[in-house]
Amino acid sequence: LKEGLKEGLEKGLEEGLEKGLQKGKREERITTAIKLLTKKFGPLPEELKSKISKLDSVTLEIIIDGIFDYESLDDVKKYIN
**CB contact at 8 A, 67 and 37:** yes
Q: What are the b/e assignments for 4-20, b being 16+ CB within 10 Å?
A: eeeeeeeeeeeeeeeee
Global pTM value: 0.79
**CB contact at 8 A, 52 and 77:** no
Give the mean pLDDT of the chain. 93
Report percent pLDDT > 70 for the chain.
99
For residue 10, pLDDT over 80 is answered with yes
